[in-house]
């Protein structure tokens, strides 16, 4: 048995991009070519072979020909298992797209070869950058331009010039035709001039990004009282790994102890790696509550009531300085206030421009203060290399009255 409990065979990816760029058709093609369909789904395709309807499950989506909700699908090949989140392309459903991306290891961003980089495509790229996710760009509908290399290279040049500003990890750019299947599940002679892998080949072989620190971080979700006495602290390892014998800090109070035991369900293990869910026993009786962070010593973040952040605002009402909010970091929720809005990111050049508020779907730089301290990464020490954000860098903003999720953010200005 592997003590680390990391399912390296599973890759979670989200498809994103502007409406009508072919996200649902691409997923349908992957499911069909990878033989990931049930018999009733194959029978449903027999009449018109509309691959998009395999993922557009809501009646409103079928009637309008768009994706509204995030549709999840699963399939497997001989090399890997996959979970797909098909994100909606319309601007008014950007919140849903953000939700789908937060569950992903990789984003597959679609671009219509004839339309090029659209406003919503740029917005989805911003969200991927905000979450620190690697991106594969599929230049779709190559069949409509006769599989022309010149047409592809023109769009590829536009893409790289615009998106590399965001420092997106990976940023592979592939030509595909979701409708005909060219370069989706396997390489195609119609695109013989392209020497890169097909989309499925790439998805089967890429490794999801990891956080840089090896020190584990776990936000406590449940405190379990043991019949024989003592407590276990249960939660999901958000980054890094935990091992029996590790010295850990309990934040925000700063107490220290050592890990006496680790359990996954009822099985004792010696170590576990993110994103395993574990129950931790410490060698000292400390006051540990839901929302506290258990962090391996030497990797613990600073504790502060004030931090800067880059965040995507998803509510219809604008965000202004002075607005009161709830900040959720891991399982810890604290009341806070927006002290200042410094800038919003322009969608064309992805550069900050002065702003005093954020409108719906804006990504901007803000300053937040919370009532009680939160364990957030030290901005002066944090690496700027391409990596997945740590669990202590990602947060969400909640409406204190309605408890509606308003925003997702990343501590620090990217």
Give the list of residues 6+ apart from residue 26 with CB closer than 8 angstroms, or none. Answer: 15, 108, 110, 138, 140, 176, 178, 184, 199
Tens of pLDDT, residues 255-299? 999 999 999 988 999 999 888 899 999 999 899 999 999 999 988
Rounded CA-CA distance 104/86 in Å is 11
Beta strands in 33-78 (DSSP E): 71-76
Tens of pLDDT, residues 24-73? 889 888 887 876 554 544 455 545 445 555 555 544 444 444 444 556 78
Q: Can you tell me the mean pLDDT for 355-371?
A: 93
pLDDT reported for residue 67: 44
Contact of 300 with 33, CB cutoff 8 Å: no
Span of 38-52, 156-170, 183-197 with lowest mean pLDDT: 38-52
Rounded CA-CA distance 282/235 in Å is 14
Quick one: pLDDT band at residue 240, thresholds 50, 70, 90?
Answer: confident
pLDDT reported for residue 90: 59
DSSP annotation of 127: H
Continuous segment of H or E residues that includes residue 62: helix 59-64
* pLDDT over 90, % of the chain: 48
Contact of 411 with 396, CB cutoff 8 Å: no
pLDDT reported for residue 68: 44
Quick one: pLDDT band at residue 229, thresholds 50, 70, 90?
Answer: confident
The answer to whether residue 302 scores a pLDDT higher than 50 is yes
The reported pTM is 0.78
The answer to whether residue 390 scores a pLDDT higher than 60 is yes
Q: Can you tell me the mean pLDDT for 234-242?
A: 90
Beta strands in 192-346 (DSSP E): 217-219, 222-225, 231-239, 241-243, 247-251, 255-264, 267-269, 271-273, 277-282, 293-296, 302-313, 319-320, 324-329, 332-345
Span of 21-30, 197-206, 214-223, 283-292 with lowest mean pLDDT: 21-30
Tens of pLDDT, residues 99-138? 778 778 899 999 999 999 998 899 889 888 888 889 999 9
**Helices in 146-293 by DSSP H: which ranges?**
149-163, 199-205
Span of 18-27, 34-43, 247-256, 338-347 with lowest mean pLDDT: 34-43
pLDDT reported for residue 131: 84
Give the list of residues 6+ apart from residue 238 with CB closer than 8 angstroms, or none. Answer: 217, 218, 219, 274, 275, 330, 390, 391, 392
pLDDT reported for residue 52: 54
The answer to whether residue 250 scores a pLDDT higher than 90 is yes
Tokens of 262: 């680790």
Quick one: pLDDT band at residue 384, thresholds 50, 70, 90?
Answer: very low
Higher pLDDT, 229 or 222: 222
Rounded CA-CA distance 242/6 in Å is 12
Continuous segment of H or E residues that includes residue 372: strand 363-376
């Amino acid at each position: 048995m592997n003590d680390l409990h990391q399912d390296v065979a599973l890759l979670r990816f989200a498809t994103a991009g502007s409406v009508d760029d072919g996200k649902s058709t691409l997923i349908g093609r992957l499911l069909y070519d990878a033989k990931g369909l049930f018999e009733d789904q194959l029978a449903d395709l027999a009449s018109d072979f509309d691959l998009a309807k395999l993922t557009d499950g809501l009646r409103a989506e079928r009637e309008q020909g768009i994706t509204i909700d995030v549709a999840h699908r699963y399939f497997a090949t001989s090399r890997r298992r996959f979970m797909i989140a098909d994100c909606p392309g319309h601007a008014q459903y950007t919140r849903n797209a953000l939700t789908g991306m937060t569950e992903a290891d990789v984003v597959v961003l679609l671009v219509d070869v004839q339309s090029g980089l659209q406003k919503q495509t740029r917005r989805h790229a911003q969200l991927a950058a905000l979450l620190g996710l690697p991106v594969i760009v599929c230049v779709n509908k190559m069949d409509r331009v006769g599989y022309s290399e010149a047409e592809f290279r023109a769009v590829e040049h536009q893409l790289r010039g615009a998106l590399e500003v965001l420092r997106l990890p990976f940023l592979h750019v592939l030509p595909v035709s979701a409708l005909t299947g060219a370069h989706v599940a396997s390489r195609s002679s119609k695109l013989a001039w392209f020497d890169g892998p097909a989309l499925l080949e790439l998805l089967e072989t890429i490794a999801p990004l990891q956080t840089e620190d090896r020190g584990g971080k776990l936000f406590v979700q449940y405190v379990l009282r043991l019949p024989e006495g003592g407590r276990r602290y249960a939660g999901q390892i958000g980054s890094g790994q935990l091992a029996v014998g590790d010295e850990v800090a309990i934040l925000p109070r700063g107490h220290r102890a050592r890990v006496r035991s680790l359990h996954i369900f009822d099985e004792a293990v010696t170590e576990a790696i993110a994103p395993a869910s574990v129950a931790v026993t410490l060698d000292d009786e400390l006051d540990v509550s839901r929302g506290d962070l258990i962090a391996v010593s030497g990797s613990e973040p600073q504790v502060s009531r004030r931090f800067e952040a880059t965040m995507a605002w998803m509510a219809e009402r604008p965000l202004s300085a002075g607005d009161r909010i709830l900040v959720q970091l891991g399982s810890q929720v604290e009341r806070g206030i927006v002290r200042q809005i410094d800038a919003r990111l322009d969608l064309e050049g992805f550069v900050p421009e002065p702003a005093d508020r954020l409108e719906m779907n804006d990504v901007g730089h803000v300053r937040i203060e919370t009532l009680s301290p939160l364990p957030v990464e030290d901005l002066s020490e944090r690496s700027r290399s391409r990596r997945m954000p740590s669990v202590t860098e990602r947060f969400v903003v909640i409406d204190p009255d309605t408890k509606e999720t308003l925003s997702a953010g990343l501590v620090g200005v990217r």
